Amino acid sequence: MVASLRLSLAAAAAAAALAVAVALLLPPLAAAQGETTCPADVPRRGAWMSVASFGGVGDGRALNTAAFARAVARIERRRARGGALLYVPAGVWLTGPFNLTSHMTLFLARGAVIRATQDTSSWPLIDPLPSYGRGRELPGGRYMSLIHGDGLQDVFITGENGTIDGQGSVWWDMWRKRTLPFTRPHLLEVISSTDVIISNVVFQDSPFWNIHPVYCSNVVITNVTVLAPHDSPNTDGIDPDSSSNVCIEDSYISTGDDLISIKSGWDEYGIAFGRPSSGITIRRITGSGPFAGFAVGSETSGGVENVHVEHLNFFGMGVGIHVKTNSGRGGFIRNITVSEVTLNGARYGLRIAGDVGGHPDASYDPSKLPVVDGVTIKNVWGQNIRQAGLVRGIRDSVFSRICLSNVKLYGGDSVGPWKCRAVSGGALDVQPSPCAELTSTSEMSFCTN
Ligand SMILES: *[C@@H]1O[C@H](CO)[C@@H](O)[C@H](O)[C@H]1NC(C)=O
Ligand SMILES: *[C@@H]1O[C@H](CO)[C@@H](O)[C@H](O)[C@H]1NC(C)=O
Ligand SMILES: *[C@@H]1O[C@H](CO)[C@@H](O)[C@H](O)[C@H]1NC(C)=O
Ligand SMILES: *[C@@H]1O[C@H](CO)[C@@H](O)[C@H](O)[C@H]1NC(C)=O
């Protein structure tokens, strides 16, 4: 494979290329033996190029937007020959937003920082997503994400723990002062793309959600770190949205909103677009934040199904696990299993609720009720939990087959009790003792399997 890399480079570059070759030879996605890992074919690239050879300067002051755009255009022209790896050397590479292309590896070397410019006035606007109908926080268009991909295949973002830094504080301040003209940008958004791998990179201080794969399939996110202050607004860690076959594992996330949240569009726009999130696997996630550790929703109008989550380790949380939807959302949330969770410190252990989240505009149809069926939460052990939590369905759409099995939540003095309404299902080995709605129904067999 080293031979397939073009090593006709200057001496320094050749050394770096060799490091890249070595990094690609070692399967970066292999965890310790015997552990299950996300399936992913790590792409091989026929060529290597450094952003420095496109006029880039990594001094933290020069603006590299044009250098990244030139490099990506070059890789795009190599599409038929297997694309290329774009090497970002150690240094601080200040840039405005740029697009990725197909058959591209973005490789951040150790000590490399791709840093977003704080000149928000030059940030391009793009159309709202059809499944949202408008920007998520304000009507109209929205700012393009710092690193952006649309309609791509075979994209790999990786490296040696380099950092993608959104310098989000200017955006958070605009949000706090209510001076934002449009919805804030994500740090990384990949739209309508297939075969996307994101690994060994730090995402830091995103203006809005950090990593947003939307209308994608075959997405692997592994061994990433996502960091933002706990008081930074809406800095969700990873939000798979109307996407299928997504695998997220071995990552550390500490942000100001939900650490991982599965979504699928917003009210009438999401219902009309009708693209579910399905086939999602999440495992071995550690982290902390003021909202949920693992969430589904609240935007779930295209439906969310076939989700398997295991080995979560959260501390200092608002809510451990939060399944949230609302009247007017429509869609469904079904066949969700979450297991092997440890929680140290949370206001609520678990919430499954049908009255969460706002609406895009006055045209939503409140009679479009979500269906929530088949949610199993098992083997949860929590300490320093204030309220066990709640399972609250919708009167005309009772949440069914909700199963709590071996869920033990402990608090300092006594944990606040479970609250339930409009729900049926089973509860087995639950502490504090579960509400009658979950112990008096005939659906125990579903829960004991
Ligand atoms: C990104 O690509 C889109 C086409 O998908 C194009 O319209 C847009 O101008 C590009 N933006 C930048 C900043 O290069
Ligand atoms: C995870 O990322 C770190 C830093 O980039 C790297 O040293 C380590 O080898 C990676 N682990 C795996 C399993 O790829
Ligand atoms: C990668 O960087 C993050 C953030 O600086 C750090 O917390 C983590 O330990 C690093 N990982 C490795 C393997 O160096
Ligand atoms: C439920 O989801 C899992 C993946 O988490 C999948 O393997 C299984 O086939 C699904 N069950 C049904 C009945 O669709």
pLDDT, tens digit, for every residue of 35-73? 789 998 899 898 999 999 999 999 999 999 999 999 999
Please give the positions annotated as active site.
Answer: 257
Separation of CA 247 and ligand 4 centre (Å): 15
For residue 55, tell me if it sits in a domain.
yes
Which residue, 208, 224, 248, sits at the end of a domain? 248
Which residue, 195, 226, 248, sits at the end of a domain? 248
DSSP string across 152-175: -EEEEEEESS-EEE--THHHHHHH
Give yes or no for a contact between 391 and 423, defined as CB atoms under 8 angstroms apart. Answer: yes
Q: Which ligand sits closest to the CA of 309?
A: 4
Residues 238 and 273 in one domain: no
Band of residue 25 on the pLDDT scale cut at 50, 70, 90: very low
The neighbour count for residue 77, using CB atoms within 10 Å, is: 11
What integer pLDDT is reported at residue 57 of this predicted model?
98
Determine the 3-state secondary structure of 196 from DSSP: strand
For residue 8, tell me if it sits in a domain.
no
Domain count for the chain, please give it: 2
Cα 194 to the center of its chain, rounded Å = 16
Residues 233 and 292 in one domain: no
For residue 27, tell me if it sits in a domain.
no
Euclidean distance between CA atoms 294 and 120, whole angstroms: 31
Give nearest CA residue, ligand 2 atom 13. 31
Residues 234 and 121 in one domain: yes
Euclidean distance between CA atoms 140 and 441, whole angstroms: 47
Residues 244 and 263 in one domain: no
Measured from the CB, is residue 446 less than 6 Å from ligand 4? no
In this structure, what are the phi and psi dihedrals at residue 404, rounded to the nearest 5 degrees?
Answer: -110, 120
Domain with 327, as residue range(s), is: 258-449
Confidence check: pLDDT of 175 > 80: yes
Residues 236 and 283 in one domain: no
Q: Ligand 4 atom closest to Cα of 307? A: 5
And the tokens for 93? 């590479």
Give yes or no for a contact between 44 and 82, defined as CB atoms under 8 angstroms apart. Answer: yes
Band of residue 7 on the pLDDT scale cut at 50, 70, 90: very low
Confidence check: pLDDT of 6 > 80: no
Task: Give the neighbor-by-neighbor strand order of the sheet with 188-191.
Answer: 98-99, 147-150, 188-191, 211-214
Best mutation site among 262, 335, 373 for ligand 4 pocket (most ligand atoms within 8 Å of CB)? 335
Helix and strand numbers, DSSP H then E, in the chain:
6, 27
For residue 29, tell me if it sits in a domain.
no
Closest CA to 204 of 246, 153, 147: 147
* Overall residue count recorded for the chain in this entry: 449
For residue 253, tell me if it sits in a domain.
no
- Cross-strand pairs, 48: 85
Sorted by sequence, the CB contacts under 8 Å of residue 262 that are 6+ apart come out as 239, 240, 241, 277, 280, 295, 296, 297, 300, 304, 307
Euclidean distance between CA atoms 429 and 353, whole angstroms: 22
pLDDT digits (tens, 9 = 90+) for 139-171: 999 999 999 999 999 999 999 999 999 999 999
Burial of 42 (0-12, 13-18, 19+ CB in 10 A): middle
Residues 207 and 189 in one domain: yes
Residues 98 and 234 in one domain: yes
Euclidean distance between CA atoms 180 and 175, whole angstroms: 6
For residue 75, tell me if it sits in a domain.
yes
Question: Which of 443 and 259 is assigned the larger pLDDT?
Answer: 259
Which residue, 248, 266, 293, sits at the end of a domain? 248
Confidence check: pLDDT of 27 > 80: no
For residue 81, tell me if it sits in a domain.
yes
Euclidean distance between CA atoms 6 and 309, whole angstroms: 41
* Of 28-32, 123-127, 313-317, 396-400, minimum mean pLDDT range: 28-32
Q: Tell me, what CATH number does 79's domain have?
A: 2.160.20.10
Averaged over 359-376, what is the pLDDT?
97
